[in-house]
Amino acid sequence: MKDYTEYILEQAQKLLSIDSPSGYTKNVTDWLLETYREMGYQPQRTTKGGVLVQISEGTGTVSDPSEGPILLTGHVDTLGAMVSSITDQGTLKLTPLGGMNPNNAETENCRIITREGKTYTGTFQLCNASIHVNGDYNDTKRTYKDMEVLLDELVSTKEEVKSLGIMTGDIVCFDPRTVITPSGFIKSRFLDDKLSTAILIGYAKYLKDENITPSRRIYQHITVFEEVGHGGCGSIPEDVTEMLAVDMGCVGEGLECTECQVSICAKDSRGPSHYDVVSALIQAARKADVDFAVDVYPYYGSDVDAALNAGVDARHCLIGPGVYASHGYERSHKKGVKNTFDLLKSYLG
């Protein structure tokens, strides 16, 4: 059977090349719609702007929730920022979109998208960023109040910036700096969650290429407001009995997951995953000889949490390839991608 890892990485690179911070996602969802259509599916854009597609009708008779329709969720909205004001000196003050930490974004190149569709470039820097001038450089806390975007334009006043068409509310997109190393590491901003979205695309292609019809009806929902907390709150088919977020697995101190594994989340910041789903995922991983870890994430919330908070009555869990340095310059590995893909195949049949 074909190895879909390279195909998944190709799709991830394409997704990562399309700017899509929360609130500015039409370009990436246009790409998703076309990609699903090329595979022979019939995706639809939700009212909120995400993409919903049924990838399997299913062949089994539903007798319990474990055999009922399942919704696989991923998201393509990323961290980013918005212009909050223009200074008298012609620099831009920002407000974050999602959890873009200013410590991680310092000195990053960025793009400013105006309401008229023009794009300007700049760099996100500490105010008074020259170490040879600023004696408090090392001691200054990095906050959005103390940082700014220097535009790559010859401007030095608020009026000159406004004359470019830049205004409060414009979207600021940070450079993802995507690299795949010869040793198999995947380094980029926004692997959360474009890497796992690419895995979902790979799974959809696998079903078509191999002419496989799982016993369960399977939907995929690619949301566009996950990073701000309400991506998975709506557009969930009424017959869904289970939701599986395919997002990132966390790698860090106190956790077992590595960048080469798939993580199964037993509990996140909102509470435990459904016990039976976690158990079934572990069983499926062992059956397929998948390298996995089970972990508890103290500071993590996902689209399935948002759906449950909105009142959806469904079993739930979260899986994903191990990702280090979450919400920073993130890193995963091809093995983590393959293990996540193989777990999906084993679990869904």
CB 77 within 8 A of CB 243: no
For 161, which DSSP code? H
| Angle at CA of residue 132, ends 126 and 138, nearest 5° | 50
For 58, which DSSP code? -
**E strand residue ranges, 32-170:** 44-45, 51-56, 70-75, 80-86, 92-97, 109-113, 119-126, 147-151
Q: What is the dihedral of CA 134, 138, 140, 144, to 10 degrees?
A: 90
CB 233 within 8 A of CB 309: yes
Closest alpha carbon to 212 in 58, 344, 7, 71: 58
Task: For residue 226, indicate whether it is catalytic.
Answer: yes
Catalytic residue among 106, 159, 160, 226: 226
Closest alpha carbon to 321 in 348, 343, 301: 343
CB 257 within 8 A of CB 263: yes
List C-alpha distances in Å: 47 to 25, 140, 224, 237, 272: 13, 43, 11, 14, 30
CB 210 within 8 A of CB 1: yes
At 63, the amino acid letter reads S
* Catalytically active residues, by annotation: 226
